[in-house]
Chain A
């Protein structure tokens, strides 16, 4: 059974930093791209970042480029999101998701999701 368990969310002041983790199990972690998708309170879904199975390729939404860094440790089956220079508009539930990529050039769909971790940016 695929399981994704996020952690690391919390309250942080504007300009602060936070690192999210996502522990994966039930599948060959290194074989799959992974993504972070967020949802602001009462709003829709927004893709944030993705990383290839090897970790060699990373992708970012324009809204977080230069501030967030995605990484993975395949020996620990864990995905990370380092978030720096946080802003009020980054307040959201952050989900990690298992990416299915049908071919080159495609961003893929999200077959499995974690339960999410809430990040609140406020003074």
Chain B
């Protein structure tokens, strides 16, 4: 099973600032990586798949990059609605596995 790690565990950012979240896989997953956003009491929402393709309706301030074992989610200018927990997920192999999440909170 591929183990996903995310850093930092918590990221404190001021509105309007840039946020950079990292995700690492224990072995190569090619570009088979997705990012999700989850707000308290809500289901996760798909942001990115294929490491860098935004899902339908996702604002352009969200961007993904990376391949192999190292991935990054960047939020270019944080809006109030972006404070949430972000999870990465690899789907290169069965089972698909999630990272432990990065919480983005208000500085």
Contact = CB atoms under 8 A, between A and B. Distances in A.
Nearest to A110: B46
A109 B91 contact: yes
Contacts of B93: 105-107
A113 B36 CA distance: 11
Q: Is the interface of B mostly helix, strand, loop or mixed?
A: loop
Contacts of B96: 47, 107-109
B92 to A, nearest CB: 6
A112 B46 CA distance: 7
Contacts, number: 62
Contact of A114 (B43, B55, B94): B43
Contact of A102 (B32, B44, B89, B95): B32
A59 interface: yes
Give the size category of A's interface with B. 20 to 34
Interface in B57-79: none
Interface residues of B, number: 24
Given A44-B99, A45-B44, A116-B43, A109 B92 contact: no
B91 A45 contact: no
Interface in A103-123: 105-116
- Top 7 A-B residue pairs of the complex, sorted by shortest distance between their CB atoms: A107-B96, A113-B43, A109-B34, A45-B98, A109-B49, A107-B91, A107-B94
Interface of A: 44-47, 59, 61, 95, 100, 102, 105-116
